[in-house]
Amino acid sequence: MIEKDFNTSYKPSWCPGCGNFGIFIALKNALVELNIKPENVLLVAGVGCSGNGVNFLKAYGWHSLHGRALPTAVGAKLANKDLTVIVMAGDGDGYGEGMAHFIHAVRGNTNITYITHDNQLYALTTGQAAPTTDKGTQTKSTPGGLIEEKANPITLALSSGGSFVARGFSGDATHLKELLKKAILHQGFSLVDVFQPCVTFNKVNTFKYFFDRLYNLDKKEGYTTNDVLAAYKEAMVWGDKIAYGLFYEDKRPSYDKYLPQLNGPALVKRPMKVRNIEQLLKEFA
């Protein structure tokens, strides 16, 4: 299998230089290297520039409603555990409209991979403030500067019981590919929040902005990924320096492991027959 096996006939509609390209290259290569066939991938996308990507990656696709990608993916994975379920959402999509789903999906720890395309604004709707936009930023919807504090997906995931919490950068596709491979292999909910500069609408958080600030946690001496408090500390660093890489990981069982009815073949691979309800009727007799 090669990267091209994941291409579709649809021409990408992203702007030249868009950070989304780096994410897609990393994802396709991660899938190739993990030897996962396109037909066994369910790509669940949200609505936004990231969501449009569902047209450009050959796999089974689900283009959900704005903010609703995560619950769709959770349902799909519970019904067919044999699929590799990957969710793509933007920061506006996933942390605005979909914030509640995000917290609960982290809590539930279903075995899916959540890749957020975090460009710190709404791009497809032409550049309004997102939950991850820095306070004070002037946008079309916040001409006087954004009043709210920015949301921090990493600390939110950590405080919700995240079992795999990571940050990637689309300007470092090789690192991102390795991170995505780990995330896909992780048996539980994995968050990979990816900085993905919007070259058209975000003139602040550019590729250069991140190249100047990012430091790689994976290479930080003495840093271990099993210490949640250390992870918090790194996740709170924001300014001249910003960390990326794997913040935290643990091995708590995924949601399905608690359901005895999901032992054995995937739910949808069992023969579907009319059920005998004689035993069940006894309680009503």
Q: Which residues bind another protein (CB under 8 A)?
A: 8, 10, 37-40, 42, 44, 47, 52, 54-55, 58-65, 68, 71-80, 82-83, 100-101, 103-104, 259-262, 267-268, 270, 272-277, 280-281, 284-285
- Cβ of residue 279: shortest distance to another protein, in angstroms? 8
- Cβ of residue 13: shortest distance to another protein, in angstroms? 9
Alpha-carbon distance of 170 to 176, in angstroms, equals: 7
> Structure tokens of 130?
């997102």
- Cβ of residue 62: shortest distance to another protein, in angstroms? 5
Could you tell me if 132 and 151 are in contact, meaning their C-beta atoms sit under 8 angstroms apart? yes
- Report the residue count for the chain: 285
CA dihedral 264, 270, 271, 275 (to 10 degrees): 80
Nearer to another protein, 26 or 47 (CB): 47
Alpha-carbon distance of 118 to 94, in angstroms, equals: 9
Coil, strand or helix at 169 = strand
- Cβ of residue 1: shortest distance to another protein, in angstroms? 13
Could you tell me if 188 and 111 are in contact, meaning their C-beta atoms sit under 8 angstroms apart? yes
- Cβ of residue 99: shortest distance to another protein, in angstroms? 11
Nearer to another protein, 42 or 246 (CB): 42
Q: Which residue has the tokens 């992870």?
A: 231
Helices 173-185 and 19-33: crossing angle in degrees, nearest 10, is 50
Nearer to another protein, 22 or 98 (CB): 98
Could you tell me if 217 and 178 are in contact, meaning their C-beta atoms sit under 8 angstroms apart? no
Nearer to another protein, 236 or 268 (CB): 268
> Structure tokens of 103?
């917290």
- Cβ of residue 171: shortest distance to another protein, in angstroms? 28
Nearer to another protein, 104 or 233 (CB): 104
Nearer to another protein, 240 or 283 (CB): 283
